[in-house]
């Protein structure tokens, strides 16, 4: 068996993902070093560079499946002049540690670079609106309203569920921890908004410290209340630390925002955790 990192049309929900049938998913939130380019032909390409990060998924595949992927990627052997891509080994970072895997790459920059290094995010941003999955303080509207951004958050689509993730407080601010999704099993509920795409750059990227390296945008498959599974933008901590106790005002925002949206079971779990682990209880 071999490990393969995929970052474009082979990802979940994309046009060639059916070719991954039978592969074992190792991580949905995986990353490698490199720069992602838009080839202009309906698929991206990676150039390995130290200056950037590329988002993708990590799979375990058979030798037969790897051969089929070679065919898709026009890889005929190392340094073959007919190759469109080269297949090389690289370090892949996941929430459970670092692994080495195959990845298909271009050998030099030939096309426009995709911001944030995420093909699925790049595609979503071409729409006028996107789904946004809030699982922390952005479930609450107080700070959003004070920032003059409330009009972007009026379209609430109800509860969303992220399976395979746990809520942890891995970002260390001066006054305590901040929320993160960690891919290590579990289930996280949150609030689904339908927001104008411009809200990402004009509000959420600023609030989440994207340009300063606090959080990064990511695309997550979220279970919706109507039973469908849809891609939504969310934000993940870039450099995850051991958990740190969040401040009271932050837990207040989470509980206040969660109460009208999440299930009674999940809300009760939040209340119990905040009380037993951090000594915080929301005053009525």
> How far is Cα 237 from Cα 165, in angstroms, rounded to an integer?
13
> How far is Cα 4 from Cα 23, in angstroms, rounded to an integer?
10
* CA proximity to 117, closest of 55, 46, 199: 55
> How far is Cα 141 from Cα 256, in angstroms, rounded to an integer?
9
Q: Write phi, then psi, for 83 (nearest 5 degrees).
A: -65, 140
**Other CB atoms within 10 Å distance of the CB of residue 284:** 3
SS3 for 97-153 is EEEEEEEEEECCCCCEECHHHCHHHHHHCCCCEEEEEECCHHHCCHHHHHCCCHHHH
CB within 8 Å of 24: residues ≥ 6 apart: 59, 60, 61
Alpha helix positions (H), the chain: 63-72, 119-124, 142-146, 198-199, 205-207, 248-258, 264-278
Give the residue numbers marked as catalytic: 208
Q: Write phi, then psi, for 253 (nearest 5 degrees).
A: -60, -45
Question: Residue 73 in 3-state DSSP?
Answer: coil
């Amino acid at each position: 068996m071999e490990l393969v990192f995929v970052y474009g049309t082979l990802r979940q929900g994309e046009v060639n993902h059916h070719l991954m049938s039978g592969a074992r998913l190792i991580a949905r939130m995986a990353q490698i070093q490199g720069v992602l380019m838009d080839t202009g032909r309906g698929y991206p390409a990676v150039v390995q560079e130290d200056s950037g990060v590329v988002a993708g998924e990590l799979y375990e595949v058979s030798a037969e499946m790897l051969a089929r992927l070679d065919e898709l990627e026009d890889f005929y052997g190392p340094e073959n002049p007919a190759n469109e891509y080269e297949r090389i080994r690289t370090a892949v970072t996941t929430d459970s540690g670092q692994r080495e895997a195959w990845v298909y790459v271009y050998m030099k920059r030939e096309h426009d670079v995709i911001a944030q290094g995420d093909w699925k995010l790049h595609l979503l941003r071409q729409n006028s609106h996107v789904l946004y999955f809030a699982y922390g303080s952005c479930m609450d509207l107080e700070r959003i309203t004070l920032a003059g951004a409330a009009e972007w958050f009026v379209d609430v689509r109800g509860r969303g569920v992220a399976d395979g993730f746990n809520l942890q407080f891995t970002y260390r601010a001066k006054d305590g921890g901040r929320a993160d999704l960690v891919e290590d099993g579990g289930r996280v509920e949150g609030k689904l908004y339908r927001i104008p795409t411009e809200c990402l750059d004009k509000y959420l990227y600023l609030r989440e410290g994207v340009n300063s390296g606090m959080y990064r945008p990511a695309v997550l498959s979220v279970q919706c209340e109507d039973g469908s599974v849809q891609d939504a933008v969310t934000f993940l901590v870039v450099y995850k630390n051991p958990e740190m106790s969040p401040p009271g005002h932050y837990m207040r925002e989470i509980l206040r925002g969660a109460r009208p949206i999440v299930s009674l079971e999940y809300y009760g779990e939040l209340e119990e955790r905040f009380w037993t682990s951090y000594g915080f209880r929301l005053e009525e």
